[in-house]
Chains A and B, each alone.
Chain A
Amino acid sequence: MIAYKFLRADGGSVFTGFAWPLPPAGPGAWVEAPLDPCRSGIHACRPGDLPYWAGRVLYEIELDGEVREEPRKVLATRGRLVRRVSAWDELRDAYTRMCADRAHELVAAADPAFAHWDSVVEPSLPEGPALLGFVAARIAEEIEGRAAAYEAERARQAEWLTERLGLGAQL
C-alpha cells in the first residue's frame, strides 16, 4: 500500500525522533515494528489524513506486512520511504495561506458573535500549516456547533492538498 508520512526537517519522526532511512535515489531501507496503534508500528497517512498531520517534509511511504486502517491514520508492520513529495515544499506556504483565508471567510459569513475568532488567524500564520488547518476547522466547528463541521473542514483541506499534490482521488 502506498501512503504518506510527514517528518521533521532532519528526517526524524515527529513524535519519536526515529531517524528514518531516507531514500537517496530509490526507496530507502525497510523499517519493521510490531503493530500497536499509537504505541508501535509504522504510522502513515492516507491522503484524507494529511491535514491532521501536516508537517515540515512529506514522503511517500510503501507499507507492507500487516496493514491496519484506523481513523486518521494507517499502520503497518513494515514500511520504507519511497520518495520525497517535493511538491509539498512549494505548497506548504500556499496551504497555510489558504487555511487562513478560509478561516476569515467562515468568520465573515457567520453571526457577528463569532467575530473575535478572526483575531487569532493572522498571528497564527508563523506557526505553519498544521496550526492554521486546525484553526480553520475549529472555527467551522464553533460556528456550526457540531463536530461534523470540523471533520467537513478537514475533508475540504484534504481535497485541496490531494488535488495540488497530484495524489489522485484517494480520499
Chain B
Amino acid sequence: MAERGLHVTCSEVVELVTEYLERALPAEEATRFEEHLNFCDGCIVYVEQIRATVGTVGRLHEDDVPPHAKEQLMAAFRDWRRSP
C-alpha cells in the first residue's frame, strides 16, 4: 500500500475546510489541500459554498434574527442535545 497522508481525500477536505479558509493549515498541508481542489470540481464548489456561508453569517448580528426564527433555532438546539 502507498504511504498514508500523501494525498488529501474528499472527506479530508470536509474535515479541513475551516482551517483552510482561516489559513491555519501548515503550508505543506495547504499545498496538498489545493492540489486536491485543483482536480476535484465537487470539492472546489464545496469550499466556495463554505467561504460564502462564512462571509454571510459573519455579517449577521443577533438582532438580525427574527424572534420566531430564534425560538425555532433554540428549540432545535435543545432537541439536538436531548437526542442519543
Interface of A with B (CB < 8 Å)? 14-15, 37-39, 52-55, 70-73, 127-128, 130-131, 133-134, 138, 141-142, 145-147, 150
Contact = CB atoms under 8 A, between A and B. Distances in A.
Given A138-B7, A150-B6, A130 B38 contact: yes
A145 B30 contact: no
Contacts, number: 52
A38 B38 contact: no
B23 A147 contact: no
29 contacts: A14-B38, A15-B37, A37-B27, A37-B30, A38-B25, A38-B30, A38-B31, A38-B34, A39-B30, A52-B35, A54-B38, A70-B27, A70-B31, A71-B28, A71-B31, A72-B31, A72-B35, A127-B39, A128-B39, A130-B38, A131-B39, A131-B40, A134-B35, A141-B6, A146-B3, A147-B3, A147-B6, A150-B2, A150-B6
Given A38-B31, A131-B40, 5 more contacts: A52-B35, A53-B38, A54-B38, A145-B1, A147-B3
Interface of B: 1-3, 6-7, 23, 25, 27-28, 30-31, 34-35, 37-41
> Chain B interface mostly helix, strand, loop or mixed?
helix
Contacts of A15: 34, 37
B2 A141 contact: yes
Contacts of B38: 14, 52-55, 130
A146 B2 contact: yes
Most buried by B among A39, A54, A133: A39
Q: Ordered nearest first, which 3 A-B pairs have the shortest CB separation?
A: A38-B30, A130-B39, A37-B27
Contacts of B6: 141, 147, 150
A14 B41 CA distance: 11
A142 B30 contact: no
Contacts of B27: 37-39, 70
A142 B35 contact: no
A71 B25 CA distance: 16
Contacts of B1: 145
A73 B2 contact: no
Contacts of B41: 127
